[in-house]
Amino acid sequence: MSTDTQAVRPAQGTEDSGYEELAAIFRPTFSKIAERAVDREQRRDLPYQEVGWLKDLGFGALRVPKVWGGHGASITDLFRLLIELAEADSNLPQLLRGHFAFTESRLSDVDHEAREVWARRIAGGELIGNASSELGNTSLADRNTTLTRDGDRWLLNGTKYYSTGTLFADWASVGGVRAEELVSVVVRTDAPGVERIDDWDGFGQRLTGSGTTRFTDVEIDPAQIYRWSDREPSHVTAFFQLVLLASLAGIGRAVLRDATGFVRPRTRSYAQAAATLPKDDPQVQQVVGELSALAFAAESTVIAAAAHTGAAADAGWRDEHDQQLVDRAEVAAYDAQVAVIDLVLRATTRLFEVGGASSTSEQRRLDRHWRNARTLANHNPVIYKARLVGDWLLNDVPPSTAWRRAREEADGTVPGRDSELVDASPPSR
């Protein structure tokens, strides 16, 4: 197996990686995905076919270096593509969130041989879902999912919720406890004892498969057991948040698309209007212009934050952990979170100013944009993030302090460590 870091490293965040050439591979499929987005919403039709299309194009291997069979995309280009995909259907980037975060973790694995093994699996089309969160937890250490030894076997038992993407995945990354030690395991979703249930009942992002996954005496390969990181936090924490923000930015673009698509052919106007046709009405034009500005600002903010995450990722790939880069990436992600949520929620409401009651027709499902944006905004609540940024600016308290403290509290319950296990990134729903 190749271990030449320079030969196989992913594209760096600051390079000109030929985005338009890369995007051209996927845009026809994004258009196909968009065609049935309203119909899928109406029927609650999970996008298995659409995920299959993306797998066939190697979308899940965007960050995998070309020498290992991937596209070798930079993080910035990855997020630009996620925004375009979210414009087509915001469910798709979120359901792939765990997959891309897992990929990032493995690409910066200190074990270079394991790094290549997973990179080639992902390049072969395998997808990884996320099954970390449980209902009713009081802390990171409060996990009811357990990994126990049965003779020569390790068995996984427990129930997870917010298992985003796992319905569509070949593997699931699962957080649990082994002898009071926090671990993460990777398990085949078709393994005996794994049960995936489509019971996500949120009013938005209804097609992400974010429901329950049950594990009953699931045998785990010891090679797929990872302990929680003893290293400093990595760029993956910021990465997790940015996928949600890319989904939001894509919704902003979809709002603008649907607003113009609604107004252009419209002939019905009002006695108070300044023009016969809505598209010529200066007030309607103003609303559409505002929607354009909101979408532009949201997208630009996500891409700017992604550049900081890319810089931290590049250092991790070189095995040169840089805490300052990681902190800056987290701060940028939290700054973006505070800004983008407000921008996109404003756009999803302002959208309805371009038309009358007909804009609320269930046939159009324009309400899905607000519902989806509101649901995305509620992940990792924004109310905590502005304070973290303020504490960093005023008191030099790194935003990663909360994660580090939580790990230390969890580690306080742990009597020992197994040195043969490699690190795993913190789970996030």
The CATH number of residue 206's host domain is: 2.40.110.10
User: Which residue do the tokens 């990663």 mark?
Assistant: 400
What is the DSSP track for 256-281? HHHHHHHHTT-----TT-SSSSGGG-
Residue 77 lies in a domain: yes
166-179 pLDDT tens trace: 999 999 999 888 88
Instruction: State the pairing for strand pair 194-197/153-160.
Output: unpaired
Angle between helical axes of 236-263 and 75-88 (0-180°, round to 10): 40
Residue 219 lies in a domain: yes
- Domain match, 212 and 282 both: no
Residue 422 lies in a domain: no
> What does pLDDT average to in each consecutive run of 10 residues of the chain (429 residues)?
44 62 98 97 97 98 97 97 98 98 90 91 97 74 82 95 96 88 92 97 96 97 79 83 98 97 87 82 95 98 98 88 92 98 98 88 93 95 92 92 68 38 35
135-193 pLDDT tens trace: 876 555 557 899 999 999 999 999 999 999 999 999 999 988 888 788 889 999 999 99
Q: Exposure pattern of 90-123 as b/e (b: 16+ CB <10 Å)?
A: bbbbbbbbbbbbbbbbbbbbeeeeebbbbbbbbb
> DSSP class of residue 393?
H
Helix residue ranges per DSSP H, 280-421: 282-317, 323-350, 367-377, 385-395, 401-411
Q: SS3 for 14?
A: coil
- Domain match, 201 and 176 both: yes
- Domain match, 220 and 250 both: no
Last residue of a domain, one of 113, 128, 143: 128
Between CA 56 and CA 46 the distance in angstroms is: 18
Residue 261 lies in a domain: yes
Cα diameter, the chain: 80
- Domain match, 23 and 108 both: yes
- Domain match, 15 and 69 both: yes
Residue 35 lies in a domain: yes
- Domain match, 282 and 396 both: yes
Half-sphere exposure of 396 (CA within 13 A, CB side): 1
E strands present in 133-267: 146-150, 153-160, 171-178, 181-188, 194-197, 212-220, 225-228
Please name the amino acid found at residue 33.
I
**Are the CB atoms for 60 and 118 separated by under 8 Å?**
no
Q: What is the CA radius of gyration of the chain?
A: 22
Last residue of a domain, one of 196, 231, 266: 231
Task: Give the pLDDT of residue 150.
Answer: 92
- Domain match, 161 and 273 both: no
Between CA 266 and CA 133 the distance in angstroms is: 46
- Domain match, 86 and 135 both: no
**Are the CB atoms for 85 and 33 separated by under 8 Å?**
yes
Residue 426 lies in a domain: no
Task: Give the pLDDT of residue 363.
Answer: 87
Q: Count up the domains in the chain and report the number.
A: 3
Residue 417 lies in a domain: no
> DSSP class of residue 425?
P
Last residue of a domain, one of 231, 251, 281: 231
User: Which residue do the tokens 């000109």 mark?
Assistant: 16
- Domain match, 136 and 88 both: no
- Domain match, 257 and 392 both: yes
Half-sphere exposure of 123 (CA within 13 A, CB side): 20
- Domain match, 86 and 172 both: no
Supply the CATH number for residue 403's domain. 1.20.140.10
Q: SS3 for 197?
A: strand
**Are the CB atoms for 172 and 130 separated by under 8 Å?**
yes
Residue 424 lies in a domain: no
Supply the CATH number for residue 65's domain. 1.10.540.10
CA distances from 260 to 41, 184, 284, 302 (A): 21, 46, 10, 23
The H or E element spanning position 128 is strand 128-131
- Domain match, 153 and 164 both: yes
Residues of the domain holding 173: 131-231
Task: Give the pLDDT of residue 371.
Answer: 98
